[in-house]
Amino acid sequence: LVASMEEVEQTYIMIKPDGVQRGLVGEIISRFERKGFKLTGLKLFQCPKELAEEHYKDLQSKTFFPKLIDYITSGPVVCMGWEGVGVVASARKLIGATNPLNAEPGTIRGDLAVQTGRNVVHGSDSPDNGKREIVWSSAFELLLDMNETYIRIF
């Protein structure tokens, strides 16, 4: 028995602004549902600049960082929690390589995207980051409810 292989994990999946603007929300959710994972949370959300900078803080030193922040804040994103055995690595496989031109056909990016800077979806890269990103996104929602500085999309 390999118990650790069967641990239920949580991951954070975010449909980026291009995915929402292109009408791909249903298509993307459907791929995770058909695979057999469980949707545990979902919201449409206009990401404020400071939150985008926090989410991508590991990439702060990259030359594309300002462009990435502009992109992620350019329209609403769909934030989701997904649960299941092995969901973190499996979701990354379903999403495909960061550069959509290198992503295998059959993956979300391989089928639906062309540019790295418009790669339609994000998925946590580890179980720890999955938990952290879900907690962080729901904590921010509570903060939003208390602070009307930010406009909710729904």
CA gap 134, 2 in Å, rounded: 27
Pick one of 41, 75, 86, 117: the residue that binds ligand RTP (CB under 6 A): 117
**Residue 73 binds ligand RTP (CB under 6 A):** no
Nearest-CA neighbor of 89 among 53, 123, 45?
A: 123
Secondary structure of the chain: what % helix, strand, coil (to 5)?
50, 20, 30
Which amino acids are annotated catalytic? 122
**Residue 74 binds ligand RTP (CB under 6 A):** no
**Is 119 marked as binding a ligand?**
yes
Pick one of 46, 116, 129, 138: the residue that binds ligand RTP (CB under 6 A): 116
Q: To which residue do tokens 């299941």 refer?
A: 84
Q: To which residue do tokens 């979902």 refer?
A: 42
**Residue 123 binds ligand RTP (CB under 6 A):** yes
CA gap 77, 62 in Å, rounded: 22
Annotated binding residues, written as ranges, equal 16, 64, 92, 98, 109, 119
Annotated binding residues for ATP, written as ranges, equal 16, 64, 92, 98, 109, 119
- The residues that touch ligand RTP, with contacts defined as CB under 6 A, are 59, 64, 68, 98, 116-117, 119, 122-123, 125
